[in-house]
Amino acid sequence: MKIGLFIPCYVDQFYPQVAIATLSILEKLNLQVDYPLQQACCGQPMANTGCTDEAKKAAKNYVSSFKHYDYIVCPSGSCVSFVRNHYDFLEQTNAIEHIRKNTYELCEFLVDVLKIKTLEASFPYKVGLHNCCHGHRGLRLAKSSERVEPQFSKIRYLLEKVKDIELVTLQKEDECCGFGGTFAVAEEAVSCKMGLDRIADHEQAGAGFITGVDMSCLMHMDGLIKRQHKSIQVKHIAEILAGEIS
Amino acid sequence: MNHPDLAAKFIKDNERTNWHNQSLWFVRQKRDTAAKSVENWEQLRDIAAKIKAHSASQLDTYLEQFEKNAMANGTKVHWAKDALEHNQIVLEILKSANVTHLVKSKSMLTEECHMNPFLEKEGIEVIDTDLGERIVQLRNEPPSHIVLPAIHLKKEDVGELFHQKLGTDKGASDPNYLTEAARQHLREKFLLAEAGLTGVNFGIAETGGFVVCTNEGNADLGTALPPIHIASMGIEKLIPKLQDLGVFLRLLARSATGQPITTYSSHYHGPREGKQQHLIIVDNGRSQLLGKETYQKALSCIRCGACLNTCPVYRRSGGHSYGYTIPGPIGSTLALEKDAAEFYTLPFACSLCASCRDVCPVKVDLDRQLYERRRDIVKEGLLPIKKRIAMWVMGNIFGSPQLWKPTGWILRKSLSIIPKKILYSSLNTWGKQRELPEPPKQSFRQWYKSNREMYKK
Amino acid sequence: MSKLEILNAIKKNKPGLTEYPNISTTASDLDIVKKFQEMVKTSGASCIEISSLDEIKEKVSALTPDLNIKTIYCQNPDLDLNTMDFEKIQSPHDLQSVDLVVIEGGIAVAENGAVWVNDEDIKYRATWFITQHLAMIVKKQNIVTNMPEAYQKIEIKQPGFGCFISGPSKTADIEQSLVIGAHGARSLTVFLI
């Protein structure tokens, strides 16, 4: 099993600890993991603004970076959802079809492909799970609150294996935090209001940490938290699952 | 119109925004409870979506069948290719019967056609009889929600309005008291009216009849008292068979308000003896939308409003910030059919969370449509030039590792060097309410190079 | 001419044919009488179980002082409730002073407490809506589980008018506060026999 590690562009530059944690989780499972240095970006920021032509360069680079791997694993529900659900703007070649089928978000890779049963991690804190929308409703990482079907959550399944963690109950279990890509700037007022409401929900539930599968959501909420000098913190799920205690 | 600006204005009143948000979230929660009470709710949605898809694929046949059966039960069927023709047909019907007092129950189609001002210019008094619609009519403003027209108003606002227009006590804001006042006021209008106009929730091809759903009974009073009933129906409201109502009437009220069914689900199959029943079939761009594979599913919409209630953006910006007849997710895709240049900010008034898609009883792929609308906006050159250039620059930098590496380094260095005053100037929209991330000492790329042997030179 | 223009545009643009889906309903072992009673109450109406029609007059007399009922419209002479002179009713407007209408309902739906009425034996469609209060007599044997079953049983008279009525008229248009009694009946009483 040859695995290509895909790290979102902004995680590479601003949150390397998330990438290091992701790599360490996979390496601890004795998997052969590469980080092809040719990678840059999946193209989502441009495509989400309607500029799919401008996204082509990035998308093509993504495909050529990863086409030789059996699986591509990425600590981001948003990037993965974009590749799986929206790479149809490219002409579908064998390589692209392979990539779209085999790009996985970290949690779903652990649960669905590796089918792991145990985790060696401890995080003795109260944690609020933020269900990042693109992974949530784009990749079906968990049952969305709108749907009427049996409860499930791949993310919760993993978090519940972390020693001493306490997951809090939110008032709105899967409302959007308001990052939304360029939405965060184009609709700044609504975006920040949404983020502040999300944070308030986690605070009233007693969370010390907000976690999720997308650093973009967490970055947006962290920006608001730091400006308001709040004590609640954000932590990407990879860092919790990797067994790191801060 | 510019959604972000209008939304920012709305949000300035934080307390009111919270109240608006919670009111609509409450309706979403009622919808959830109602949906959970139906066994096989997801299967029902699936069936509804398929009925609508089938109906669209045979729409011409069904419309002809509908017309034939409607005429057989005494309904006069008219066809209007656009809003103007619709309004002209209504006017003609009213003028030929010397009608000067028309009562109207809720019809988003007539809002779309701007029928009220058209008729009023011709000397016809048009009274909206749905309580929420009457409230906004008296305030001279459009509804802010397709099912709950006055959701943006507090009871004190309504109390003040009724005091001025209906003579209720000053300062009185009890909803029971105000509703009673509206009942008395509108009863007079029902009794006076010479014609009643309604929308159509569902037209049934098999029988030539149609269904109107209300809680207040205003559509029924408005059509049972005057001798003339005009029903305005968009072509997409047609369903093939009577039994299809067994699917749609189970989904509609539960999705809209969380009720298992509205108080009245009225089935009209022709006029009372000696009276007139008219039905106007309206196109107004729908046949065009039918041919657009990417957006055609929007025609399945049964106007329940569930997507509005769940949308985190709509809840925090209000219906009036969309500037279109129908706000929220469904409005944002439909508006682009009417005028892309005017409404181009609407598909961007969305974080693509897809809650709307999961809540829609007929499975309209709203999130996908709004994403695709963005692409169309760019293709038509409607994206502001600044944004286009920024995306072109980003596309080149993000598309190439050779450019991204140094750019990333520059960004990190800038964040640690540039003084805060400059960094957080008014040009930095992100920085208005958020701190920028702390730049780490090295990127992951750099860490990987120095920590994984195989890449050591 | 617009009809042709519209139909031609549709013919040109309509998507490829998709099949009409299978609409099958699953059987349920629900106690439908109990469920119906529960849903009638949820809709804001009252549900009174009776064993014979003779009880209705007494029950209605109990309601009349509270609800200020003076005029009653009832087409069934056996119930001995009617106070209207039917000859004098020449238009639906002549019903505007009616306080209570007592009529027989048809098929009743357990999942939502709705009762089907139609204008087969009623001259004016306004009858159910113009009255201040409404009472419907529903036979237990006419209760079905859900809407699909109801549509298999109701008869659509052509021309004609029919309506599923569930509860009294209501609105929540003023700050989401539920108010019972909007433009239609202020109350609904279902006599279940």
Reported as a single tens digit per residue, the pLDDT across A179-209 is 999 899 999 999 999 999 999 999 999 999 9
Do both A48 and A24 map to the same domain?
Answer: yes
Is residue B180 within 8 A of residue B188, CB to CB? The reply is: no
CB-based contact, C81 to chain B, within 8 Å: no
Phi then psi dihedrals of residue C46, to 5 deg: -105, 150
Q: What is the pLDDT of residues B287-308, one digit of tens each?
A: 999 999 999 999 999 999 999 9
CATH number at residue A180: 3.40.50
Cβ contact, residue pair B444, A219, below 8 Å: no
Pair (A99, A136) in one structural domain: no
Contacts of A194 in chain B (CB under 8 A): 312-313, 316, 351
Residue B392 to residue A35, Cβ atoms within 8 A: no
Out of A113, A134, A149, a domain closes at A113
Note whether B267 contacts C92, CB cutoff 8 Å: no
Please say whether the beta carbons of B432 and A188 come within 8 A. yes
- What span, in angstroms and rounded, lies between the C-alpha atoms of C57 and C172? 33
pLDDT in tens, C128-182: 999 999 999 999 999 999 999 999 999 999 999 999 999 999 999 999 999 999 9
Give which of B394, B441, B398 is closest to B416, Cα–Cα: B441
**A204 in the same domain as A131:** yes
For every residue of chain C, DSSP letters joined together read: -HHHHHHHHHHHHPPPP-PPPP---------HHHHHHHHHHHTT-EEEE-SSTHHHHHHHHHHTTTTT---EEES-GGG------GGG--SGGGGTT--EEEEE---EETTTTEEEEETTS-S-TTHHHHSSEEEEEE-GGGEESSHHHHHHH----SSEEEEEE-SS-EE-TTTT--EE-SSS-SEEEEEE-
Sheet holding A126-129, edge to edge: A166-167, A126-129, A209-212, A233-236
Query: Which residue range is the domain that position A14 belongs to?
Result: 2-113
State mean pLDDT over C86-112.
96
Q: How many CB atoms lie within 10 A of CB C175?
A: 18
Dig out the tokens for B123 from the structure: 């000397």
Q: Which pLDDT score, from 0 to 100, does residue C166 have? A: 98
Average model confidence (pLDDT) across chain C: 94
Measure Cα distances from A238 to A142, B24, B79, B440 in Å. Answer: 17, 35, 60, 18
Write down the pLDDT at residue A246. Answer: 34
In percent, the amount of chain B with pLDDT more than 70 equals 99
Interface contact C89, partner B, CB < 8 A: no
User: Tens digit of pLDDT for each residue in B148-191?
Assistant: 999 999 999 999 999 999 999 999 999 999 999 999 999 999 99
Together in a domain, A95 and A200:
no
Looking at chain B, the number of H-run helices and the number of E-run strands are: 23, 10
Residues B241, C151 contacting (CB under 8 angstroms): no
Based on the fold, state whether residues A107 and A132 are members of the same structural domain. no
CA distance B268 to B272: 10
Determine the pLDDT at residue B455: 55
* Partner-chain contact B225 C92, CB within 8 Å: yes
Instruction: Summarize the confidence of residues A14-41 as an average pLDDT.
Output: 94
Number of domains chain A is built from: 2
Q: Are residues A46 and A139 in the same domain?
A: no
Rounded Cα distance, B262 and B397, in Å: 55
Q: What mean pLDDT comes out for the span C64-86?
A: 90
Confidence of residue B453 (pLDDT cuts 50, 70, 90): low
Token representation of residue C188: 């609904």
On whether any CB of chain B is under 8 Å from the CB of C20, the answer is yes
Is CATH 3.90.1150.10 the right assignment for the domain spanning C30-192?
A: no
> Same domain, yes or no, for A103 and A209?
no
Beta partners for residue A73, in sequence order: A5, A104
Chain B touching partners, 3 or more CB pairs below 8 A: A, C
Which amino acid is it at C107?
I
* Greatest distance between any 2 Cα atoms in chain B: 96
pLDDT on residue A62: 94
Interatomic CA distance for residues B161 and B171, integer angstroms: 10
- Mutual orientation of helices A77-86 and A94-102 as an angle, nearest 10°? 140
Percentage of chain B modeled with pLDDT above 90: 85
Q: Is residue A118 part of a domain?
A: no
Shortest alpha-carbon distance between residue B301 and chain C (Å) = 16
pLDDT tens for each residue of B229-250: 999 999 999 999 999 999 999 9
Per-domain residue ranges of chain C? 30-192
Would the CB atoms of C14 and B249 count as touching at under 8 Å?
no
One-letter amino acid for residue B150 of the chain: A
For the stretch B41-72, pLDDT in tens is 999 999 999 999 999 999 999 999 999 999 99
**CB-based burial label for C28 (10 Å; 0-12, 13-18, 19+):** middle
Q: What tens digit of pLDDT does each residue of A91-148 get?
A: 999 999 999 999 999 999 999 999 999 999 999 999 999 999 999 999 999 999 999 9
**What mean pLDDT, rounded, does chain A reach?**
95
Q: In terms of DSSP bridges, do strands A103-105 and A71-74 run parallel, antiparallel, or are they unpaired?
A: parallel
Q: Number of A:B CB contacts under 8 A?
A: 226
Look at residue C23 in the predicted model and tell me its pLDDT. Answer: 84
**Touching, A vs C (3+ Cβ pairs under 8 A):** no
> Are residue A21 and residue A109 in the same domain, yes or no?
yes
Query: Is B228 within 8 Å of B196 (Cβ atoms)?
Result: yes
The pLDDT score that the predictor gives to residue B192 is: 97
Contact predicate A116/A30, CB 8 Å: no
Q: What is the pLDDT of residue B454?
A: 62
Boundary-marking domain end, from A62, A82, A113: A113
The answer to whether residue A135 sits within a structural domain is: yes
Q: Check whether residue A52 and residue A7 sit in a common domain.
A: yes
**DSSP element (H, E) containing B277:** strand B276-282
ipTM of the complex: 0.97
8 Å CB contact of A46 and B391: yes
Interchain contact C148–B (C-beta under 8 A): yes
- In whole angstroms, give the CA distance from residue A9 to residue A1: 25
| Complete domains list, chain B, with CATH | 1-35+296-383 (1.10.1060), 38-284 (3.40.50.10420), 401-455 (no CATH)
Is the Cβ–Cβ distance between B124 and B102 less than 8 Å?
Answer: yes
| Closest-CA residue of chain A to B37 | A148
pTM of structure: 0.96
Give yes or no: residues A7 and A103 share one domain: yes
Are B383 and A197 a contacting pair at CB < 8 A?
no
